[in-house]
Amino acid sequence: MMRSEAVRYLIMPGWQGSGDDHWQSHWQRSLPNSARVEQRDWLTPRREDWVAALEQQIAADPRPAILIAHSLGCITVAHWAAQAVPATLRRVRGALLVAPADVQRPNCPEALRNFAPIPRQSLPFPSQLVGSDNDSAASAARAIELARDWGSEVAILSGAGHINVKSGHQRWDQGFAYLFRLQSRIEQQQRLRA
């Protein structure tokens, strides 16, 4: 069961990282056993480097992990899951995927295009995707399509923008509701398997 095993939270920022005011930084300070996946280069992201950094964090610690990803971090999680070995895949209990960046959109910044195409296969763990109906990085329709591909539960927020500091999401305590929803789904699955 979840309560008896110490779950760690791996926070996976997007392009340019998450500054001190970003909800991911607030969550990192609030959640026990949380750590950030650090990238060598936040400004010119290379897909294989980002995937490797995530793999390293997961492989470095045998405890089960829940991934909390934002923007390009969500796409990194999908790429990692598509090619990870079963041993590290098993350590991930679930993923909260917030405001995924559609790296295949026509106006996508050049720096992010090496993350295309986005893997379409179902994630091998429960996931909750949270998008917004006015996010310039991915339309609501696109967020719903990604959720369908990945087998994620989906919530589309109204007027939440890219769910970052610029759209007024410094603490984003409401977001914890999605994390708790994900965790109860994980616990349910574990009970079914037990």
Given this model, what pLDDT does residue 5 score? 62
Q: Assess if residue 1 is contained within a domain.
A: no
Given this model, what pLDDT does residue 194 score? 77
- What CATH number should be reported for the domain holding residue 151? 3.40.50.1820
Q: Tokens representing 30?
A: 């609030």
pLDDT one-digit tens code per residue, 12-47 = 999 999 999 999 999 999 999 999 999 999 999 999
Q: 5: which DSSP letter? A: S
Give the integer Cα–Cα distance in Å for 149 and 157. 19
pLDDT one-digit tens code per residue, 111-120 = 999 999 999 9
Given this model, what pLDDT does residue 22 score? 97
Q: Assess if residue 123 is contained within a domain.
A: yes
Q: Assess if residue 69 is contained within a domain.
A: yes
Q: Assess if residue 176 is contained within a domain.
A: yes
Q: Assess if residue 126 is contained within a domain.
A: yes
Domains contained in the chain, number? 1
Domain limits for position 37 = 8-193
Q: Assess if residue 110 is contained within a domain.
A: yes
Q: Assess if residue 3 is contained within a domain.
A: no
Given this model, what pLDDT does residue 6 score? 83
Given this model, what pLDDT does residue 190 score? 86
Q: Assess if residue 2 is contained within a domain.
A: no
Q: Which parts of the chain register pLDDT below 50?
A: 1-2, 4
Nearest to 75, CA basis, from 7, 149, 3 = 149
